[in-house]
Structures are given as C-alpha cells and as structure tokens.
Amino acid sequence: MSDIVTVKAPVNIAVIKYWGKRDEDLILPLNDSVSATLDTSIMCAKTSVCARPEFKENEIWLNGKKESFQSPRLQNCLKEIKSRAATENSVNEDFLQWKVRVCSENNFPTAAGLASSAAGYACLVTALAKLYKVKSDVSSIARLGSGSACRSVYGGFVRWHAGTSPDGSDSVASQIEGSAHWPEMQALILVVGDTKKKTSSTTGMKISTQTSELLKHRIKYCVPQRTDEIIQAIKQKDFPKFAEITMKDSNQFHAVCLDSYPPFVYMTDVSHLIVDLIHKYNELSGSTKVAYTFDAGPNACLYLLEEEVPQVLSLIRHVFPSSNPDQFVTGLKTNEVALNPELKNICEPQAKDLIKYVIHTKVGEGPTEITDGSHLLNDAGLPKIE
C-alpha cells in the first residue's frame, strides 16, 4: 500500500466578499463571508504528500516547478497539522519528525483572480490532515495558508465566520447547505485575463484596511445584514434575492478598492461591459436571472440557474466573439440555442477575443481523497515527469 496521500480540492467564489484582515499573521478577517464551492471535476487543485525518514528536507513542487518551502504560510500550515496530530495522538512521534514532500497542480490559471490559492491551500491542508490522520476540523488551518481557503474545505454553500477571539479559534468555516440543496445553481466563469495581477490581494487589503472609510461602513452596516439575507435566500432557493445581494456586494468591494488611498483597480473595461450586459439581460427578462461577481481580478463569475445557461452562453458568444469558437466554452456540456432576436440589440458585438474563454461549472463538493493511484509523486517520492 502506498504511503502517498493525494487529494483534490475545489475553488470557491465568494458572494459576500472577504476584504481586510484584523490580524495579518493569523489571517483573521474583518467580516464574515459567504461563498459557493465549485465542482472539482471542472476546476480543482490536486496535491500529493508523503513523509519518509530518508527525506533530508521539506520540499514542494507547484505546477511542475520546484518552489521554496520557506513561505511562512506554508510552514504554518504544516506546523499546525503536526501540532494537531500530536494533540490527537494520531501518529507516532517518529513520523512527526520525518520531512515531507509536496507536489501540487492547478488545472486553471494561478494568481489571476480565479481563487487558486483557496483551492491550493485547502488541498494541501486536507492532504496533510489525511497523512497525519488528523480527524478534527481543519478549516482554521487552511485559513493560515490563504484566508478564503477555509471556505474550500466544505462543499455547497459556505460561511466563513470572522470570529472575535484574538487567537482565531472561532474564525472557522461552516456549511450553510450542501451542493445537493440547490442542484440547478450553475456558474459561468468568464476569463478576461489570466496573467498575474498588478496589486496582490494581500497588498490591496492592507491599503484598504488602513485608508478606506467605505470599508469601515461596509463592515459595520452592510455585511452583517447582507450575510443574514443571502443565507436566507440560499435556504429558500430565492434566486432573485441571492443575485441582487451578490451583485451589490461585488460592486461595493470594487468601490472599496477605489476608495482606498492610493486607489487600485481589478476590473477592466471588459469587466464593466460584462456588468452592463448582465443588467440589460435581467431588465429584458423582467426579473433577475443572472448575477455577476468579481474577485480581485478582471474575471467574472456569473451565477445562474441551469435553465438560463443556453441563452446566456449564446448572448456571450454574440457580444464577445471568439476567433476559436469551438474551444471558447469548456467544462459542462450544454445545448446552446439560437439567440432570442430581442437580445441581439442589447449590446453591440465587441472586438474578438476580449473574453479568452468561458468555464461552465456548477456548485460541488468539498475536498476528496483520490484512491486510484494517480499520484503526482512517484514511488521514490519525486514528481512524476509527464
């Protein structure tokens, strides 16, 4: 039996945004956040880990490249898992002393506002927890790697509680509803740019926390009410309410970025065209059928019910033509339909390739162990060469 543990973990896209920390080291947020976990069969991080007495040092490979294990966040995650294993007495003392090797890959762009760090750290921590046989909740450990990673530890719809304790013990994630609760809920991720962003989330959050008056107002007056309301909307499967709160919260988050000093922006002209298009589509539909949300990047995540997907995809193809139409939409298969004539004139077709591609996905489960032997490390504990 192999001593290698391999796990895949999901991306999550927040509908109530996390922006700003009350503690930089422990990664404790200023406000609660809410997200949907996306299906790992379409987008995921995959991580293999193993520990052996002959390994001389801790080593990590990410997307085919050897990286430094010196990252404080990485070290904190490993240290906390080992500490938890010692407390739970889940493995023997010798095993805790052995060095580890980690090999991880994403099947989507890293650092482009596509929640890659969330999937990556949720995957790493879940794999390490299985390696060290830790049984307790690991969302607070995933949080030490990347704040939003704690939400990727669960499937379905998830709440990250900001907590009030200085040590972060109550800043954990919990599931609102599982993925089976609202199976019609789907997502289209419109990839506008997949290059590294100019202002990292960590830097942006610091600037906003120190300078934005709007952020203070948001945390005190807006987020608590929105969080309660969106949880109700999820439980009642009230899409128009869910969509309206999602869009307003995304808009406010990006307004906070502009209210920061100096200001910084993540959305581009194409992002704003998408916003405009969705509002026009909803207006013409007579009710809110699609929600947009943007994380710290130019890419849009559209939440919509399954029945809307064919028409919305046709509209996106019409307004944002691709020079490679056959490869434009990846992920779930859908039977696209002819565009409703009324929709043809709501927005002029743009120049080609403003949207690089679209990922069609749905709400899915949390991290899972892969037991079919498809590890990223070989029997010698080194990355497999493709």
Residue 321 near residue 340, CB atoms below 8 Å = no
Q: Which CATH number covers residue 49? A: 3.30.230.10
Mean pLDDT of 144-148: 95
pLDDT tier at 161, thresholds 50, 70, 90: very high
Torsion of CA 372, 374, 378, 382, to 10 degrees: -130
Do the domain assignments include residue 383?
Answer: no
Q: Is pLDDT of 111 > 60? A: no
On the question of pLDDT at 165 being above 80, the answer is yes
pLDDT grade for 114, boundaries at 50, 70 and 90 = low
Amino acid identity at 300 = A
Tokens 């990292």 belong to: 200
Number of compact structural domains in the chain: 2
Q: 61-81: per-residue pLDDT in tens? A: 999 999 999 999 999 999 999
Q: How many residues does the chain have?
A: 386
The pLDDT of residue 164 is above 70: yes
Same domain, 226 and 239: yes
Helix, strand or coil for residue 313? helix
Taking the CA of residue 295 as centre, how many other CA atoms within 13 Å lie in the half-sphere pointing to its CB? 28
Cα separation of 36 and 143, whole Å?
17
- Is the pLDDT at 113 greater than 60? The verdict is no
- 191 and 124 fall within a common domain: no
Percent of the chain with pLDDT over 90: 93
Are 167 and 232 within one domain?
A: no
pLDDT band at 234, cuts 50/70/90? Answer: very high
List, in sequence order, every beta strand (DSSP E) within the chain: 5-10, 12-16, 21-23, 28-29, 33-37, 44-52, 59-62, 65-67, 99-106, 157-160, 173-177, 185-191, 290-294, 300-305, 329-331, 357-362, 368-369
Residue 355 and residue 214 share a domain: yes
Is the residue at 376 inside a domain?
no
Q: What is the pLDDT of residues 322-357, one digit of tens each?
A: 999 999 999 999 988 999 999 999 999 999 999 999
Q: Are residues 210 and 355 in the same domain?
A: yes
Nearest to 25 by CA among 190, 183, 171, 242: 171
Handedness of CA 365, 370, 372, 376 (dihedral sign): positive
User: Same domain, yes or no, for 111 and 146?
Assistant: yes
Query: 174 and 38, same structural domain?
Result: yes
**Residue range 214-221: mean pLDDT, rounded:** 98
Q: Which of 149, 124, 190 is nearest to 331 (CA)?
A: 190
Q: pLDDT tens digit string along 247-264?
A: 999 999 999 999 999 999
Assess whether 170 and 229 both reside in one domain.
no
Residue 14 lies in a domain: yes
For the record, the structure tokens of 151 come out as 């939400």
Model confidence at 108: pLDDT above 80:
no
Q: Give one word for 51, left, alpha or beta, with left for phi > 0 and alpha for psi -120 to 50.
A: beta
pLDDT at position 115 is 63
Its pTM stands at 0.95
CB 184 within 8 A of CB 195: no
Q: Is residue 295 part of a domain?
A: yes
Residue 130 lies in a domain: yes
Range of the domain at 221: 185-362
Q: 248 and 221: one domain?
A: yes
Whether the CB-CB separation of 290 and 263 falls below 8 Å is answered with no
Question: Lowest mean pLDDT: which of 4-13, 299-308, 333-342?
Answer: 333-342
Task: Give CA–CA dist 289/184, Å, rounded.
Answer: 12
Round to whole Å and give the CA distance between 232 and 197.
34
**Would you tell me how many other CB atoms lie within 10 Å of the CB of residue 68?**
8
Predicted confidence (pLDDT) per residue in 9-33, tens digit: 999 999 999 999 999 999 999 999 9
Burial 276-294, CB ≥16 within 10 A → b, else e:
ebbebbbeeeeebbbbbbb
Average pLDDT over residues 296-302: 95
44 domain residue, yes or no: yes
pLDDT of amino acid 196: 73
pLDDT of residue 315: 98
Does residue 159 form part of some domain? yes
Write the DSSP symbol of residue 149: G
113 in any annotated domain: yes
Task: Indicate if 212 and 313 belong to the same structural domain.
Answer: yes
Residues with Cβ < 8 Å from 324, sequence gap 6 or more?
none
Is residue 319 within 8 Å of 349, Cβ to Cβ?
Answer: yes
CATH assignment of the domain containing 191:
3.30.70.890
Q: Do 158 and 115 lie in a common domain?
A: yes
155 shares a domain with 77: yes
Question: Residue 126 in contact with residue 7, Cβ under 8 Å?
Answer: yes
